[in-house]
Amino acid sequence: MTTELEIGLYIFMLAGFLGYHVITRVPPLLHTPLMSATNAIAGISLVGSLVVAGADYGAFSTVLGFIAVTCSSTNVVGGFLITDRMLKMFKTAKDQTVQRRKFQFDPKWLLALPVLVAGLLVIFYWSEQLRSDATYFFREVLPGQALRYFYIISAALFILGLKGLSSPKTARKGMFAAEFGMLMAVVGTLFHHEIVTFKWIIIGFLIGAIIGGIMGLRIPMTAVPQRTALSHSLGALAACLVGISEYFRHSGELSKVTMTALGFEVIVGGLTFTGSLMAAAKLQGLLPGHPITYKGQNIFNLSLLAVIVGSLIYLIVAPTAGMLFYVMVGLAFVFGFLLVIPIGAADMPVVIALLNSYGGLADAAMGFVLMNKIQIITGSLDGTSGFLLALLMCRAMNRSAINVLFGAFGKIEKAEGGPAAEAKGIVRSITSEEMAVVLDSIRSMIIVPGYGMAVAQAQHGVAELAKLLMMRGIDVKYAIHPVAGRMPGHMNVLLADAKVPYDQLYDMAQINPYFAQADMALVVGANDVTNPAAKSNKNSPLYGMPILEVERAKSIVVLKRSLNPGFSGVDNELYYDPKCMMLFGDAKESLNKLFAALKL
């Protein structure tokens, strides 16, 4: 006979495969919303947390459950709000001109809810258990059945939600479906027969919703990477706390299977919590962004991991060794810190995507501990999504997955056998006033945004310039490199924030053939993604990375502050190209001066 564990494993694998197929269809344009959407869905740890906070498991468990509810609801509310904020910004030029009909609430929609509940009641009524009397039915049968059916519906809605992200046209509808799915999962859980009080659930949820709401509504788009990292850390903490509570209330009297899943949950949850906190602090500038390294770091980290794994193996054999359990959790927290400190802030997006994946796995492990199928499904979806995004980033950055998986970030190793890329030659500079004159003579321009545009917050200036040039009859296109910036889809979100229609954004494969015909390529704070050494210099660390072929344009203007290299630390040959002119300065300030010159 198939055991619960086997069913769980089948579900985990199938959800992973399904997630893979659904998520590979999400275009790079929507990779940042995908990250925050899966982050919100990972807030499914709320389901386990609600039971721990509301059940009568003892004061210690209630406190842990309360904290877990607060953390998970911050994740859910903040994650869905910011995803919706981003998706609302993705519009085509046509969408922007069409005056949308004002949203009108149709009361008929309210009928959907009672109809749904009534439908469920009818199903229950005819179910075989209904031979018993009505009181028994409402007290004992209904809650269990409601929970089961609500979970099935919400699993389907989560998958539909992610499927919606395959196009900006369906993305918002998809997210509404996922939000409704989360609502059903939460409402279904409230029927859980072990919940005896709603007090701590309500207080925790309100605190989480307020914090998440503020984060989701107020945080600027440029701070999305650190918000995502912070959110991962909260979700992972919730998973870890629920695991600790489960261990505590059973005093370690657990089967080998449950102990394995629980150990995995608290270890991965713990290291993801501290690792993500570190990532958020580095990205926010609260901690130094540069990699912090010391001699023997890798050996030390690996030894620590070995101790943690060894402790788990011991606990599987002797689960009641309580002291060892708590030491193992403490070491997992320390390991998360140590894992991330040798990584530079610039590498954080890959780390965040990986931690997203770890957070998903911690949720799935929680699902195995509680034998909760919805958590297994969403954990698997989240794990797949984070892992896929990390791999996509690595591929676009020309880094190996092994390099990422084993934490060898921080610097791109220089190839041996020759100078990496010491571009030398004459650099030509141009002023904003001269640039204004040059713009009079061009008919087409391709704008290439990069990380510097995000630093300077110059996206609004870029969009204004493009609009102005288009009004003058100049053909303007945007070229988006998949890893321009510091997050997958970073440039898409910033330009959407500046109301640039997404149908003016071209991905690398689409735009490269146009460069040869473009009168001007305007590079705004991009560097590595335009470096021709990636194609021509075998000794360059960038060699093999697909780039935007800016050097093929008839003229090139680069907006940046100096000749300093970008993320890879490699000189850019482009700046010594006779067709290239450097407009030195902060990108936003340079654009402001350019506007002033254009208006003269």
Confirm or reject binding of residue 485 to ligand NAP (CB under 6 A): yes
Site residues for ligand NAP, 422-451, by CB under 6 A, read 450-451
Cα gap 305→539, rounded to integer Å = 35
Count CB neighbours of 212 within 10 A: 28
Smallest separation (angstroms) from ligand NAP to the CB of 116:
40
Confirm or reject binding of residue 278 to ligand NAP (CB under 6 A): no
- Identify the CA nearest to 599 among candidates 439, 436, 434, 435: 436
Our answer to whether residue 497 is catalytic in this structure is no
Nearer to ligand NAP, 369 or 487 (CB): 487
Cα gap 165→170, rounded to integer Å = 7
Among 525, 532, 541, 546, which residue interacts with ligand NAP (rule: CB under 6 A)? 525
Confirm or reject binding of residue 464 to ligand NAP (CB under 6 A): no
Nearer to ligand NAP, 265 or 497 (CB): 497
- Identify the CA nearest to 540 among candidates 573, 582, 578, 580: 573
Q: Looking at beta carbons, which residue is closest to ligand NAP?
A: 566
Smallest separation (angstroms) from ligand NAP to the CB of 490:
5
Smallest separation (angstroms) from ligand NAP to the CB of 57:
42
Smallest separation (angstroms) from ligand NAP to the CB of 497:
16
Nearer to ligand NAP, 24 or 564 (CB): 564
Stretch in the footprint of ligand NAP (CB under 6 A) among 122-130, 139-147, 377-385, 520-528: 520-528
Smallest separation (angstroms) from ligand NAP to the CB of 470:
23
Cα gap 479→449, rounded to integer Å = 7
β-pair type (556-560, 444-449):
unpaired
Cα gap 14→22, rounded to integer Å = 12
Smallest separation (angstroms) from ligand NAP to the CB of 494:
11
> CA torsion sign, 540 to 397 to 354 to 377?
negative
- Identify the CA nearest to 531 among candidates 434, 435, 398: 398
Strand partners, 583: 559
Among 44, 479, 484, 556, which residue interacts with ligand NAP (rule: CB under 6 A)? 484
Nearer to ligand NAP, 140 or 422 (CB): 422
Nearer to ligand NAP, 146 or 348 (CB): 348
Smallest separation (angstroms) from ligand NAP to the CB of 343:
11
Smallest separation (angstroms) from ligand NAP to the CB of 531:
8
The answer to whether 49 touches 68, Cβ cutoff 8 Å, is yes
Binding-residue total with ligand NAP (CB under 6 A): 33
Count CB neighbours of 187 within 10 A: 14
Site residues for ligand NAP, 367-426, by CB under 6 A, read 393, 397
Which one-letter DSSP state was computed for residue 519?
Answer: S
Among 47, 239, 376, 456, which residue interacts with ligand NAP (rule: CB under 6 A)? 456
Measure the N-to-C terminal CA separation of the chain; round to a whole number of Å. Answer: 82
Task: At 84, list the tokens.
Answer: 């919706």
Among 483, 495, 511, 533, which residue interacts with ligand NAP (rule: CB under 6 A)? 483
The answer to whether 478 touches 505, Cβ cutoff 8 Å, is yes
Residue 445 is inside which H or E element, if any? Answer: strand 444-449
Smallest separation (angstroms) from ligand NAP to the CB of 356:
13
Cα gap 592→479, rounded to integer Å = 22
Helix (H, G, I), strand (E, B) or coil at 426: coil
Cα gap 428→448, rounded to integer Å = 19
Nearer to ligand NAP, 241 or 526 (CB): 526
Count CB neighbours of 578 within 10 A: 9
Query: Per-residue x/- marks for ligand NAP, 561-580, CB under 6 A?
Result: xx-x-xxx------------
Of 528, 571, 577, 586, the catalytic one is 528
Nearer to ligand NAP, 41 or 583 (CB): 583
Cα gap 171→516, rounded to integer Å = 34
Residue 429 is inside which H or E element, if any? Answer: strand 428-429
Stretch in the footprint of ligand NAP (CB under 6 A) among 41-49, 80-88, 244-252, 477-485: 477-485
The answer to whether 36 touches 83, Cβ cutoff 8 Å, is yes
Nearer to ligand NAP, 66 or 478 (CB): 478
> CA torsion sign, 332 to 215 to 385 to 493?
negative
Smallest separation (angstroms) from ligand NAP to the CB of 12:
28
- Identify the CA nearest to 157 among candidates 133, 177, 187, 186: 177
Cα gap 266→300, rounded to integer Å = 21
Among 26, 159, 559, 574, which residue interacts with ligand NAP (rule: CB under 6 A)? 559
Q: What is the CA radius of gyration of the chain?
A: 26
Query: Per-residue x/- marks for ligand NAP, 321-360, CB under 6 A?
Result: -------------------------xx-xx----------
Stretch in the footprint of ligand NAP (CB under 6 A) among 115-123, 184-192, 358-366, 487-495: 487-495
Q: What length does the chain have?
A: 600
Stretch in the footprint of ligand NAP (CB under 6 A) among 194-202, 335-343, 504-512, 555-563: 555-563
Within 13 A of 171's CA, how many CA atoms are on the CB side?
27
Confirm or reject binding of residue 185 to ligand NAP (CB under 6 A): no
Stretch in the footprint of ligand NAP (CB under 6 A) among 190-198, 257-265, 279-287, 527-535: 527-535
Stretch in the footprint of ligand NAP (CB under 6 A) among 165-173, 193-201, 262-270, 484-492: 484-492
Confirm or reject binding of residue 526 to ligand NAP (CB under 6 A): yes
Smallest separation (angstroms) from ligand NAP to the CB of 388:
13
Among 215, 340, 529, 581, which residue interacts with ligand NAP (rule: CB under 6 A)? 529
Strand partners, 490: none
CA dist 185 to 50, 354, 356, 520, Å?
A: 11, 26, 21, 53
Stretch in the footprint of ligand NAP (CB under 6 A) among 88-96, 200-208, 266-274, 478-486: 478-486
Nearer to ligand NAP, 153 or 427 (CB): 427
Number of H helices, E strands in the chain: 24, 7
Catalytic (active-site) positions: 528
Binding site for ligand NAP (CB under 6 A): 346-347, 349-350, 393, 397, 450-452, 455-456, 483-488, 490, 525-529, 559-562, 564, 566-568, 586-587
